[in-house]
Amino acid sequence: MADRIPSMPRSEPPHNEGFALVAVLAFLMMFAMFLAPFVTASKVRALTVSNRFESMRLDLAAQAINDTLSSKMSRDPSFKSKLLEASRQAPQSCKIRNITLTTEVLDQSSLIDLNRATPELIALGLESLGLETHQAAETAQAMVSFRSFARDAQAASRQTPTSENMKHGPFESVVELHEFAWLQPIPLDRLARLFTLSNPTEILTNRSLFPDLQRRLSTVRASESNDQAAAQDVVSLTTTLQTGGGFGSDYQVVVIDNVNKTYSTQITMRLRQRHEGAASVPCAGLLGTEISAFAEKGLNP
């Protein structure tokens, strides 16, 4: 009887192994989809923190630059006059490597004080912004009513174009001018070149930044000589710093003592509004080599 040859066992196709591989890949894809939003959120948070840190750094640098500008203006009248005259046209910009520095220095005596000026002067200023005569007069009366604790019944009865539920008390910021319907289309930086909270008088004792208003001022009470005004200047300084990923600013109102060659800061605050300068030039030509070198060292250690 012939020997029987044992049969070899059949090999089954690896169906189980293939299914396990597909299951692992599917799990990894689901896990990646689940994890992706958290990764994106982490990246966004890290970028936000980085931008906030950069903005804080630029805020402090802008404040230091304003302090240095104030100190030099108090000691050097010609430097003060140079900055004031340059800013009459527009904010001035210069470059420090990849950083754009924009500065604006305004004499507060050339601006209309929101809490002191007469309705007639306010109306003239509003007309220089392009408002019609009746719009300017109504808005000026509404502004006087706005800054008064007691509502002016006569002004209220005229249904002046203002926002509802407005407060009644002194202006605290030029931003509040956007409470008035006729002024809402006007950019805040343009309003800030006409109005202020820091003119120590109710009139303009210096040339307005708006030529049309300057021509109209002959119809308003002429300014009187003031020895105290000659002994000191009240100026505002706005400095902004911009990079590709950050923005910083500082706004100050300072009183410059022309007799003792000193200055004192009345107001300091941060601005979130970007200023566009008239030109981009080296900062040494605008601020001088000393301040330019100080700024560059602080911004690019």
Residue 161 has pLDDT above 60, yes or no: no
For the chain, state the CA radius of gyration. Answer: 32
> Could you write out the DSSP letters of every residue in 111-175?
SEETTTS-HHHHHHHHHHTT--HHHHHHHHHHHHHHHSSS--HHHHHTT-SB-TT---S----GG
HSE, CB side, 13 Å, CA atoms: give it for residue 53. 6
Of the two residues 243 and 301, the one the predictor is more confident about is 243
Q: How far is CA 72 from the centre of its chain?
A: 23
- Token pair of 289, please? 């080599």
- What confidence tens digit (pLDDT) does each residue in 231-258 have? 899 999 999 998 877 889 999 999 999 9
d(CA 134, CA 139): 8
pLDDT at 296 over 80: yes
Instruction: Report the pLDDT value the prediction gives residue 223, as an integer from 0 to 100.
Output: 44
Given a cut of 70, is residue 28 above it in pLDDT? yes
Distances (CA, A) of 258 to 74, 126, 251, 268: 7, 32, 21, 21
Q: For every residue of 75-89, which 3-state class applies, written as one string?
A: HCHHHHHHHHHHHHH
* Apex 274 CA angle, 86 and 47, nearest 5: 140
Has residue 208 got a pLDDT over 60? Answer: yes
Report pTM. 0.74
Angle at 97 between CA 91 and CA 100, to 5 degrees: 20
Residue 10 banded pLDDT, cuts 50, 70, 90: low
What's the pLDDT score for residue 298? Answer: 78
- The closest alpha carbon to 103, from 296, 234, 278, 298, belongs to 278
Rounded Cα gap, residues 251 and 269, in angstroms: 5
Which of residues 24 and 132 earns the better pLDDT score?
A: 132
Q: Which residues contact 206 (CB under 8 A, 6 or more apart)?
A: 107, 109, 110
pLDDT, residue 124, reads 95
**Across the strands, what pairs with 236?**
106, 253
Roughly how many angstroms between the first and final C-alpha of the chain, as a whole number? 100
| CA pair distance 191, 74, nearest whole angstrom | 27
Residue 97, CA distances (Å) to 185, 259, 283 in order: 35, 37, 10
pLDDT range class, residue 132, cuts 50, 70, 90: very high
User: Which residues, in sequence order, are bridge partners of residue 262?
Assistant: 257
